[in-house]
Structure 1
Amino acid sequence: MTVVFVSGASGFIAQELVKQLLQKGYTVIGSVRSPSKGDSLKSNLLKLNLPSDRFNYEIVPDISSPGAFDDALKKHPEISVFIHTASPFHFKAKDIEKELLIPAINGTKNALIAIQKYAPQVKRVVVTSSVVAVGKYGKYASPGDKFTEQSWNPIDFETSKKNTVYGYFGSKTFAEQAVWMFVEKENPGFSVSTVNPGMVLGPQAFPIRGRDKLNTSSEEINRLLKLKPDSKIVNVESTFVDVRDVAKAHIAAFEKDEAQGKRLLLIAESYNTQGLLNIVNKNFPELELPKGDPAKGDALKTAPDTWNTDVTKKILGFDYIGLEESVRDSVSQIIDGKIAQSRL
């Protein structure tokens, strides 16, 4: 039976990944920052009648500390696949270099070094990156930009320290660059794939039990549900992929030989805030959210095709969940959890 290690197992993407791995018959060992996070994940799996006996966890309190993953890998020589999802994703950092950039870069390096030193039996490694390591944003963006799996964000380290948004862009870009530099320099005994999703939306892996349980991605939807009928709409554009497809892509990344050494760029659709609001208003009119300017939600349907992900689609071989289904499932889950009932 294949044993898969998932770092950052309590994260948004990782929890869905753990679910899907167990459903496919894999045994999973996850790293979490505390026993309470590991116990909570194990309990949630049990409540969904998933084989929680095939999930165990190891404590890695700080992925950026030297040797962070050494003990976990020494303890489990049965691990043959390593999926590194652990990386900070929030916009609250006060010290961007210390809280975003260094943990992402060093955490990734620590994982690769530990595998090379203590887990020679590991042959497949998958690293969660992001679309922001691929595209150009902010001062780097130009009209008519086009991107493929071979594109890179040109952001530099100093720019990354200017604000938390640039900090996040830098954290994903530099961490992924560290992956490919390691492969080139060390020629390890394992193959590497990266998964580069757009904005990851969709329902959380387990029922929501409180406002503090919402992750950064789910809050993208939840903040709309807090709007008053007369609230002004700030129309932000982004790319999207559902969390269930992201997890599925991580599994395909180690299962499929053709994914070895590849960047998998996951984009299902482009969207904007008005488009999200249109979907919520259509499916949940009882929420009485602001209408905004519905026509603006359709603007991206005729926009130039900025992203070419043909290589990824050919490797994965499955259709993505659409934006409307993803948003509908997210809102249903949030409403059931009674989270977004108070309007700000």
Structure 2
Amino acid sequence: MHTKETTVFVSGATGFIALHVLDDLLKAGYKVIGSGRSQKKIDALLKKFNNNPNLSMEIVEDIAAPGAFDEAFQKRGKEINVVLHIASPVHFQTTDFEKDLLTPAVNGTKSILEAIKKYAADTVEKVVVTSSVAALVAPVDMSITNLVVNEESWNRDTWESCQATAVFAYAGSKKFAEKTAWDFLKENQSSVKFTLTTINPGFVFGPQLFADSLKDGINASSGIITKLVHSKVGGRFYNYSGPFIDVRDVSKAHLIAFENPECAGKRLLLCEDLFCCQQAVDVLNEEFPQLKGKITVGEPGSGSSFLKTNSCTFDNSITKNLLGFKFLDFRNCIVDTASQMLEVQNET
């Protein structure tokens, strides 16, 4: 059992998911060491957490650089018992998929595991890697209605085939980064003692931990909701669909992933249900009188029939049993996401 003397390292600590994880770890009494890309980002983050004495930070400028985590682990490795590797590149504004998405994701995972092996082989007992549903199923297969995706599934794209588009390359980057972690553990079993768990969330919605984060840009999934909140009457929207999960549940799962010994060696598929943008539009129109009549309506009520003919199925009963808590539903998740967006918008 982990005592509160346990120290947890969180890579990419300034990100959307990671901030919630930091908050949950600190509330649970853990000591936390986070990594951020610059002193400026680190100072801002420490201030947000009121300079909590249990939180300290190290600079890791570029997770894709060779030996990116060496300095941080050389300095702090002997203190670290748990590593949550959350940092990974997410952006689609690129045509050099290998350089900007695939290689950084793989190298970032490799370099943090190498740093553990070099400087913290005796102290780190648990590693949790934040992967994605994208590692389980290729984007092109998401719409196969008779396909069932579960914790054992793998995206069938190859390094070559996933370079067709930025979205395919992002999905591929999650697959190959996760494969890298499992392969590393297999190859280095005699020189490290940690167990590995991966967390594979679908589209992650939910409020930012700090509302003012919305002023600095937004994670890719929440960006979909922003567009709908700012849509126009009669406006068309792309009906994104897929599995969704609330960020607060993703955060909780990161803690259980290392606290519950039964999660060792497992992949946790985080999905409450399927969603499509039409359903989000319905929720926005039903729950926000200030938006009704000002934003798009699409075809109200057509969401579930759209999903029946456009989406594969996800079975994560193994994960739900291991985690042992109920995920937040879509309506609550979208209401909380949009309320925060509207609040911040009114302040600016």
* Alignment TM class, shorter chain as reference: over 0.9
User: Within the alignment, does 1:114 sit opposite 2:115 as a pair?
Assistant: yes
- In the alignment, which residue of structure 2 is the partner of 1:61? 61
- Report the residue type matching 1:117 in the other structure: K
Equivalence for 1:338: 345
Q: Please state how far the C-alpha of 1:286 moved relative to its aligned partner.
A: 1.4
Deviation at 1:182, TM superposition (A): 0.9
2:243 is the counterpart of 1:239? yes
Q: Which residue of 2 aligns with 1:90?
A: 91
Residue from 42, 45, 53 that aligns with 2:46: 42
Question: 1:131-184 CA deviation, whole Å, 9 max, x = no partner?
Answer: 010123216864411111001000111122221101101100000011111111
How far apart are 1:2 and its partner, in Å?
1.0
Output the CA distance in 2 between the equivalents of 1:232 and 1:259: 43
Report the Cα distance in structure 2 between the residues aligned to 1:157 and 1:33, rounded to whole angstroms: 28
Per-residue CA deviation, residues 80-105 of structure 1 (Å, 9 max, x unaligned), is 10000010112112311111100000
What amino acid is aligned across from residue 264 of structure 1 in structure 2? L
Question: Cα gap change, 1:123/1:209 in structure 2, threshold over 3 Å: closer, same or farther?
Answer: closer
1:226 equivalent in structure 2: 230
Other-structure match for 2:165:
163
CA contact (8 A) 2:135 2:171 kept: yes
Which AA in structure 1 matches 2:63?
Answer: I
1:193 aligns with 2:181: no
Partner SS for 1:279: helix
TM-score by length of 1: 0.93
**Would the aligned equivalents of 1:209 and 1:337 in 2 still touch at CA under 8 Å?**
no
Query: After alignment, is 300-309 or 246-255 more displaced?
Result: 300-309
How much identity, in percent, do the aligned residues show?
42
Unaligned runs of 5+ in 1: none
Which residue number corresponds to residue 175 of structure 1?
A: 177
Q: After the TM superposition, which of the residue ranges 196-205 and 232-241 deviates more from structure 2?
A: 232-241
Distance 1:135 1:340 in 2: 40
The answer to whether 1:266 aligns with 2:270 is: yes
1:218, CA displacement in angstroms? 2.0
After superposition, the C-alpha distances for 1:209-232 in whole angstroms (9 at most, x for unaligned) are 654332222212111111111201
* Deviation, structure 1 residue 302: 6.1
Q: 2:330 matched to which residue of 1?
A: 323
In 1, Cα distance between the equivalents of 2:340 and 2:241? 24
CA distance in 1 between partners of 2:327 and 2:282 (Å): 20
Q: 1:113 to 1:96 in 2, by over 3 A?
A: same
Deviates more, 1:296-305 or 1:235-244: 296-305
Query: Could you tell which deviates more after superposition, 121-130 or 73-82?
Result: 73-82
The one-letter code of the counterpart of 1:325 is N
| 1:195-214 aligned within 5 A | 195-208=199-212, 211-214=215-218
State the SS of the aligned residue for 1:109.
helix
Show the counterpart of 1:105. 106
AA in 2 matched with 1:67: G
3-state SS of paired residue (1:56):
strand
Which residue number in structure 1 is paired with residue 314 of structure 2? 307
How far residue 111 of structure 1 moved from its aligned partner, in angstroms, is 0.7
Flag the 1:21–1:290 CA change in 2: closer, same or farther, 3 A.
Answer: same
CA contact (8 A) 1:135 1:152 kept: yes
Contact 2:282 2:301 in 1 (8 A): no
Q: Give 1:216's aligned residue.
A: 220
Secondary structure of residue in 2 paired with 1:285: coil
Bigger CA drift: 206-215 or 309-318?
A: 206-215
Is the 8 Å Cα contact of residues 208 and 334 (structure 1) preserved in structure 2? no
